[in-house]
């Protein structure tokens, strides 16, 4: 029998990052983590091991993200600094913030796929969570990665 | 930062220590579980209780007029219809967490369509059956007391009129925009995945 506490300790940071990738809002992501684990608690006794438990939890989490789609707004670009020529040293926190901001500007389905990819899920598992074929996920990950890289470069250029 | 590995290492540096502990989470769960579906359960239980009450009254008391039995039957049918609609909806919600995103979005789009159908058709049938049923059911009781009959029928007509012409269209208008927006959003994400 799987213990809820163990599942929570293991998966809550991962679920939080995926939800944060989707919403780019820490409070909203925390609410989604709560909703996800309430659903996990309710469904745990009926979990039939047809999929891996991690896949099941990520399905619940991403479905909750999609359900909250109307509420989450894409984050706007930050205002440009006045002196563009001045070299700016980016702290780790700023870099992370830029990454999540750029992810937040992607389309909803892209945000979910890239968040699961960055979280380190195998592409077969991502395909299981999203409901696409493995090949389709591989192509999408490749395209999203390119799109994200362009966004990050553009962002760095304007700093 | 354009390299996937760089992105991955940055991705994992996000602080997660502000998340509630498993003990705090369990407290939250005990507080909120089934909260969302509670109203649906309440409707189902009330419908069954009311149906049992009406059926018992019809079986125990020997009414003389056929209108009472016809009215009682209509009220029971309306209640059962409302209960079945809510049970179907509950069943879908309980199986929702087993679905992948694609099926989930299809479910959301379908549910929103069903909800619009409920307002436009099922609700009309339920209110008509229930309203008509209560009017017929009360007739025998009020037949012997004409003054009370007029007063109670007047109150019932005003109540049904308010529900039908004011509350229902307002609730529908308010929900329709929200439902359409959610459906369109679900369809738009579905298109992204196809």
Contact A53, A1 (CB under 8 A): no
Chain A residues inside the 8 Å CB shell of B103: 131
Q: Is the pLDDT of residue A17 over 70?
A: yes
Q: Is the pLDDT of residue A75 over 70?
A: no
Residue in chain A nearest B18 by alpha carbon = A30
Mutation site for B-interface testing, chosen from A3, A8, A53, A145 by largest number of B Cβ within 10 Å: A8
- Looking from the CA of A118 toward its CB, the CA atoms found within 13 Å total 34
Min Cα–Cα distance to chain A from B170, Å: 22
Are residues A95 and B10, on separate chains, in Cβ contact within 8 Å? yes
Whether B26 contacts chain A with CB within 8 A: yes
Confidence at B193, pLDDT banded by 50, 70, 90: confident
Confidence at A81, pLDDT banded by 50, 70, 90: very low
Structure tokens at B61: 């008391």
Residue ranges per domain, chain A? 4-75+85-157
Helices (H), chain B: 4-11, 22-32, 38-60, 66-95, 101-117, 123-143, 146-162, 168-193
pLDDT tens digits along B40-53: 889 999 999 999 99
Contact B79, B87 (CB under 8 A): no
Whether B180 contacts chain A with CB within 8 A: no
Percent of chain A past pLDDT 90, that is, above it, reads 50
Dihedral (Cα; B47, B49, B52, B53), 10-degree rounding: -110
- Least CB-CB distance to B189: which of A17, A66, A117? A66
Work out the number of other CB atoms within 10 angstroms of the CB of residue B105: 27
pLDDT tens digits along B124-173: 899 889 989 988 988 887 887 888 888 888 898 898 888 888 888 888 88
The mean pLDDT value for A59-81 works out to 64
Q: Is the pLDDT of residue A76 over 60?
A: no
Mutation site for B-interface testing, chosen from A28, A63, A151 by largest number of B Cβ within 10 Å: A63
Chain B residues inside the 8 Å CB shell of A17: 11-12, 14, 16
Q: Is the pLDDT of residue A139 over 50?
A: yes
Min Cα–Cα distance to chain A from B184, Å: 10
With 0-12 / 13-18 / 19 or more C-beta atoms within 10 angstroms meaning exposed / middle / buried, residue A68 is: middle
Between CA A86 and CA A158 the distance in angstroms is 11
pLDDT of residue A84: 42
CATH of domain A4-75+85-157: 1.20.140.160
Kindly give the interhelix angle for A123-130 and A108-118, rounded to the nearest 10 degrees.
150
Whether B7 contacts chain A with CB within 8 A: yes
Min Cα–Cα distance to chain A from B166, Å: 28
pLDDT, mean over chain B: 84
pLDDT tens digits along B60-82: 988 889 999 999 999 999 999 99
Q: Is the pLDDT of residue B24 over 80?
A: yes
The mean pLDDT value for A25-50 works out to 86
pLDDT, mean over chain A: 83
Confidence at B184, pLDDT banded by 50, 70, 90: confident
pLDDT of residue A143: 93
Q: Is this complex scored with an ipTM above 0.85?
A: no
Structure tokens at B80: 């059962």
Confidence at A118, pLDDT banded by 50, 70, 90: very high
pLDDT of residue A127: 93
Between CA B14 and CA A20 the distance in angstroms is 9
In chain B, which among 36-95 make CB contacts under 8 A with chain A?
A: none
pLDDT of residue A41: 87
- Least CB-CB distance to A152: which of B2, B11, B32? B2
Q: Is the pLDDT of residue A86 over 60?
A: no
pTM of the model: 0.74
- A103-to-A45, A79, A147, A152, B105 alpha-carbon distances in Å: 35, 17, 10, 9, 21
């Amino acid at each position: 029998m799987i213990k809820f506490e163990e599942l929570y300790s293991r998966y809550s940071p991962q679920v939080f990052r995926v939800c944060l990738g989707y919403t780019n809002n820490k409070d909203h992501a925390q609410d989604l983590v709560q909703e996800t684990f309430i659903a996990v608690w309710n469904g745990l006794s009926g979990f039939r091991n047809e999929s891996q438990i991690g896949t099941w939890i990520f399905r619940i989490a991403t479905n909750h993200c999609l359900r909250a789609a109307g509420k989450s707004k894409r984050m706007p670009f930050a205002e440009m600094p006045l002196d563009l020529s001045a070299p700016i040293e980016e702290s780790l926190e700023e870099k992370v913030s830029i990454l999540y901001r750029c992810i937040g500007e992607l389309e909803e389905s892209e945000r979910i796929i890239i968040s699961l990819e960055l979280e380190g899920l195998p592409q077969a598992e991502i395909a299981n969570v999203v409901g696409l074929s493995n090949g389709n996920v591989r192509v999408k990950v490749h395209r999203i990665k390119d799109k994200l890289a362009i966004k990050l470069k553009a962002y760095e250029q304007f700093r | 930062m354009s390299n996937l590995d760089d992105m991955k290492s940055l991705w994992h540096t996000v602080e997660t220590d502000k998340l509630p502990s498993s003990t705090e989470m369990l407290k939250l769960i005990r507080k909120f579980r089934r909260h969302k579906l509670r109203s649906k359960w309440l409707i189902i239980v009330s419908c069954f209780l009311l149906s049992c009450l009406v059926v018992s009254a019809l079986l125990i008391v020997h009414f003389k007029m056929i209108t009472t039995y016809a009215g009682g039957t209509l009220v029971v049918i309306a209640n059962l219809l409302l209960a079945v609609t809510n049970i179907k909806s509950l069943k879908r919600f309980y199986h929702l967490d087993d679905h992948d995103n694609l099926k989930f979005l299809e479910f959301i789009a379908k549910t929103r369509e069903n909800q619009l159908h409920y307002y436009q058709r099922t609700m009309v049938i339920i209110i008509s059956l229930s309203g008509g049923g209560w009017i017929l059911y009360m007739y025998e009781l009020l037949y012997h007391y004409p003054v009370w009959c007029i007063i109670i029928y007047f109150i019932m007509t005003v109540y049904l009129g308010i529900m039908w012409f004011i509350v229902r269209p307002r609730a529908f208008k308010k929900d329709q925009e929200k439902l359409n927006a959610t459906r369109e959003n679900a369809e738009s994400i579905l298109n992204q995945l196809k």
